[in-house]
Structure 1
Amino acid sequence: MVVVKKYFGETDGKEVSLYKITNKNQTSISVLSYAATWQNFEVVEDGVKHSLIEHFDNLNDYVKTPYEVGKTIGRVAGRITKSHFQINNVDYQLTPNDGKNIIHSGKNGLQTQNFDGTVDSDNSVVFTHTVAGEDGFPGELKVKIRYALSDDDEVSITYSGQTNHDTLFNPSCHVYFDLDDGNIRQQQLRINAKHFLDMDSEKLPTGKMLAVTNAYDFKNFKKIGQGLKQLKPLDKFEFDDAYVVHDKAATLKDSQRAVDFYTDRNGLVIFTASPIDQQRAGANDYSSIAMELMTLPDAINHEDFGNTILQAGQKVSYTNKFKYRKLD
């Protein structure tokens, strides 16, 4: 196992570093200090390198993308209704950045921060950063994110948080998977979920959990393109939906390879998009699918969605895993 660090650019006068971890199979992941970004996931098949995730090769594209490609989003991923929540009957009003709501914790979320990076071992890199009071969130929050790659081609991302004031903590990686060079419609998805969240016109949870049916039913492997076709009668053209999951959340595969997704939280948000090609995006022609493993969105405003409160003095860690498999 080898970890190599190199210069990737500068933002706000601070150097951004890229760390590349390579295992015995020549599988590698690259991660950036900027936004603790997962920049690449590359495997070698029959001597040929193959990337499994959407990525940019320069820092400026990461800074300006509205799609948060590969970035750590938080301190709370997803939307919070009316940018408002309560902890112990104390009201907190945040600065909205999505109409009246806040998404991915606002314009100063973790996706805009440059982290300190350290090579932690021969197979892991740790990023640390402290945020305090950004966009109305209470408390100083110390965040640690560990990226690790095993010799059996499993990537694990562990998010740890500690705070001096009761606050919220529910980060994720906004990584977009594409196993077959932009041909996302032909790739097959299975989600181990019986329910998904009902959403209103602002993409906010109504509080209802619906049984997965028709377009939203991925209990068995189904081509993403078939699911998109099933959305048309509903006057919808993309997936941007949250599923209730446990442990082995999902599998994405094509004819040659698969990635299994695991989480110790209860949510998977899927989002079909074309974050790199704006022409394709405008035509609803999707190149990839975001797979965001997290506690269900807006959980602070829905009792049965899970706990995202991080109490003062408490430490918490969450781990998401992504395992590559070559298919015979």
Structure 2
Amino acid sequence: MSVERKVFGKIGTQPVYLYKITNKNQMSISLLSYAATWQDFEVVEDGQKHSLIEHFDNIDDYINTPYQNGKTIGRVAGRIKDARFSIDNVEYKMKPNDGNNLLHGGNNGLQYQNFDSESFDNSVIFSHTVNGEDGFPGILKVKIKYTLNDDNEVTITYTAETDHDTLFNPTCHVYFDVDDENIKQQQLQINAKKFLDVDDEKIPTGKLLSTINAYDFKNFKKIGQGLKQLKPLNKVEYDDTFVVANKAATIKSEHRAIDLYTDRNGMVIFTANTKDKASGNNYSSLAMELQYLPDAINHNDFGNIVLKAGQKVSYTNKYKYRKLD
């Protein structure tokens, strides 16, 4: 097991570091201090390297992309209705950045910060402290630990503590493309019987809908087949949240698979082409974001994302690579 570090670029005068962890199987993950980003995920099969996530090779693209490729999103991933919430009957109002709502924690979220970083035998820890940005209460100390083991498992652990009751529900906004074939030919399986109903602003209504037809991935189905099933609904993309538990999903091609695990209850999937806006609906990758359900603070049964003053919380997402014969 080895960890390498080099300078990837700069933000102002601050260096952005790239760390590369490689295991005994020559599988590697590359990470950036900017936004605690999962920059690349490479495997070696029969002497050939394969990258399994959509990524950029320079810092400017990471700064400028609206797609948040591989970044840590938060302090709260997803949307908060009307950019307001209450904790113990105290209301907090934030500055909207998505119509009337707050998206991904605001315009000063974790996805825009350059983290402190340190490496260990098979892991890297990114640390950052936020202090009331975007209207959230409290000084929040965040640590994000990426670990790669020799069983080909990538584990991301999100830990936080605060001096004031606040919210915490981050995720990794990673986009998978596990083969050279078109993403529409890759197969998806999601362990979910329900997904969230949303309004025209993509805010959850509170209703849980059954995963049928286009949203039924209980058995493996090609992503392209699902997209075809969306057409009668006058939809052309996935941007949906599934209710999951433990082993959330698997994305696979003929040659390899990635299993996704989480200790929270939600997974957002989003079809995109993050490198070519002109591509229309010719999607190149699938975001799979493990988190508590969006807008959980405004729905009693969506999960508890309140972090109380003086307490510490940790969430874990895991991604396991498997070579298929």
Aligned residues: 325
Offset, 1:284? 1.1
> How is 1:123-272 mapped onto 2 (pairs within 5 angstroms)?
123-181=122-180, 183-272=182-271
Offset, 1:202? 0.6
What residue in structure 2 maps to residue 54 of structure 1? 54
SS at match of 1:226: helix
Q: Could you say what the CA RMSD is over the residues aligned between the two structures, in angstroms?
A: 0.6
Write the deviation string for residues 144-185 of structure 1: whole angstroms up to 9, x where unpaired. Answer: 000000101100000000000000000000000001236110
SS at match of 2:274: coil
For residues 201 and 194 of structure 1, what CA distance do their matches in structure 2 show?
A: 23
Write the deviation string for residues 121-144 of structure 1: whole angstroms up to 9, x where unpaired. Answer: 210000000001101000000000
For residues 86 and 12 of structure 1, what CA distance do their matches in structure 2 show?
A: 36
SS at match of 1:300: helix
Deviates more, 1:22-31 or 1:173-182: 173-182
What residue in structure 1 maps to residue 10 of structure 2? 10
CA contact (8 A) 1:34 1:115 kept: yes
CA contact (8 A) 1:21 1:28 kept: yes
Counterpart amino acid of residue 141 in structure 2: K
SS at match of 2:38: strand
Structure 1 unaligned blocks of 5 or more: none
1:320 pairs with 2:321? no
Counterpart amino acid of residue 276 in structure 1: K
For residues 323 and 56 of structure 2, what CA distance do their matches in structure 1 show?
A: 24
> How is 1:82-97 mapped onto 2 (pairs within 5 angstroms)?
82-97=82-97
For residues 309 and 179 of structure 1, what CA distance do their matches in structure 2 show?
A: 35
Write the deviation string for residues 207-246 of structure 1: whole angstroms up to 9, x where unpaired. Answer: 0011111000000000000000000010000000000000
SS at match of 1:203: coil
SS at match of 1:138: coil
Over 3 Å counting, the alpha-carbon distance change for 1:109 and 1:182 in structure 2 is farther
What residue in structure 2 maps to residue 117 of structure 1? 117
SS at match of 1:232: helix
For residues 245 and 115 of structure 2, what CA distance do their matches in structure 1 show?
A: 30
Which among 295, 303, 307 is matched to residue 310 of structure 1? 307
For residues 82 and 149 of structure 2, what CA distance do their matches in structure 1 show?
A: 41
What residue in structure 1 maps to residue 65 of structure 2? 65
What residue in structure 2 maps to residue 23 of structure 1? 23
For residues 327 and 199 of structure 1, what CA distance do their matches in structure 2 show?
A: 36
1:286 pairs with 2:290? no
What residue in structure 2 maps to residue 106 of structure 1? 106
Offset, 1:279? 2.0
CA contact (8 A) 1:182 1:288 kept: no
SS at match of 1:228: helix
For residues 135 and 326 of structure 1, what CA distance do their matches in structure 2 show?
A: 43
What residue in structure 1 maps to residue 294 of structure 2? 297
Provide the identity percentage: 70
CA contact (8 A) 1:95 1:135 kept: yes
Offset, 1:13? 1.9
Q: TM-score, normalised by structure 2?
A: 0.99
Counterpart amino acid of residue 53 in structure 1: I
CA contact (8 A) 1:244 1:267 kept: yes
For residues 206 and 316 of structure 2, what CA distance do their matches in structure 1 show?
A: 25
Write the deviation string for residues 56-100 of structure 1: whole angstroms up to 9, x where unpaired. Answer: 000000000000000000000000000010000000001110001
Deviates more, 1:7-16 or 1:159-168: 7-16
For residues 199 and 212 of structure 1, what CA distance do their matches in structure 2 show?
A: 14
SS at match of 1:303: coil
For residues 152 and 264 of structure 1, what CA distance do their matches in structure 2 show?
A: 20
Q: TM-score, normalised by structure 1?
A: 0.98
SS at match of 2:226: helix
Write the deviation string for residues 287-312 of structure 1: whole angstroms up to 9, x where unpaired. Answer: 00000000000000000000000000
For residues 283 and 92 of structure 2, what CA distance do their matches in structure 1 show?
A: 37
Counterpart amino acid of residue 312 in structure 1: A
